[in-house]
Amino acid sequence: MSGELSPIDKAKFVAAKRAADFVEDGMRVGLGTGSTAAWLVRSLGEMVREEGLKIRGVPTSTRTAQLAREVGIEVISLDEARWLDLTIDGADEFDADLNLIKGGGGALLQEKIVATASDRMIVIADIGKQVETLGAFPLPVEVIPFGWRTTQALIEEMLISMDVLGRSTTLRMNGDRPYVTDEGNHILDLHLKRIGNGRQLALVLNQMPGVVENGLFIDICDMVVVGYGDGRVEIR
């Protein structure tokens, strides 16, 4: 499966494969979104088809739901599952405290709901996602379409009072149209460069009218499985 992969894809693949070992028979598993999570879903599908693994998966996006069904994983909704044993997902950045930026793939809202409803969250990532301080990757913030420009202006005003270097924000686009999430919302990407106090920023953002959720995952992740281009895997 991993024969012809580029080093970065190999790193994602080996991290996903190792994390799949934490999935046990009978588990309700949150299935993340993105290219790394897709490797996980494919690995789990293989285990279902070839080893008879019995799991029920709760996908975090329509993309992941489609892939999970294609590879043979039984898909249920979060409302059916109520609570999950484990969620495995990718990330855009992780730091030494296992705090994350997520949402580069636009699925942060379902991802945060699903991860928070899990006994345990494992992140799978290539080593390039490890950072000393979060914030070089633009922080995705999901906002409702109504009045998004006003929400954007409020966020920019708020950033002036916070310990961040960058203050510019951009509306995520899909071609010449605003990107639309699975919930019908838009995403503002906050170009902050360095996030001094992620916990405070996450709280402040979520108090703003128009903001649905932000991509800071603070104290949610329990373990990061890190993959390297040469096939090594480390656990943090």
What does the per-residue mask of binding to ligand 5RP show for 93-132, with x meaning CB under 6 A? ---------xxxxxxx--x---------------------
Longest dimension (CA), the chain: 55
The answer to whether 138 contacts ligand 5RP (rule: CB under 6 A) is: no
The answer to whether 198 contacts ligand 5RP (rule: CB under 6 A) is: no
- Closer residue to ligand 5RP, CB minimum distance, 6 or 161: 6
DSSP letter (8 states) at residue 68:
H
Shortest gap between Cβ of 124 and ligand 5RP (angstroms)? 8
Q: Which residues are annotated as a binding site?
A: 33-36, 89-92, 102-105, 129
The answer to whether 135 contacts ligand 5RP (rule: CB under 6 A) is: no
The answer to whether 43 contacts ligand 5RP (rule: CB under 6 A) is: no
Shortest gap between Cβ of 53 and ligand 5RP (angstroms)? 22
Q: How big is the chain, counted in residues?
A: 236
What does the per-residue mask of binding to ligand 5RP show for 65-94, with x meaning CB under 6 A? ------------------------xxxx--
Q: Which residues are annotated as a binding site for substrate?
A: 33-36, 89-92, 102-105, 129
Q: Which residues form the catalytic set? A: 111
The whole-angstrom separation of Cα 142 and Cα 155 is: 12
- Closer residue to ligand 5RP, CB minimum distance, 47 or 137: 137
The whole-angstrom separation of Cα 115 and Cα 220 is: 7
DSSP string, 6-48: -HHHHHHHHHHHHHHTT--TT-EEEE--SHHHHHHHHHHHHHH
The whole-angstrom separation of Cα 150 and Cα 177 is: 18
Nearest alpha-carbon partner for 70 in 36, 45, 107, 33: 45
Judged by phi (left if over 0) then psi (alpha if -120 to 50, else beta), residue 214 lies in beta
Binding site for ligand 5RP (CB under 6 A): 32-37, 89-92, 102-108, 111
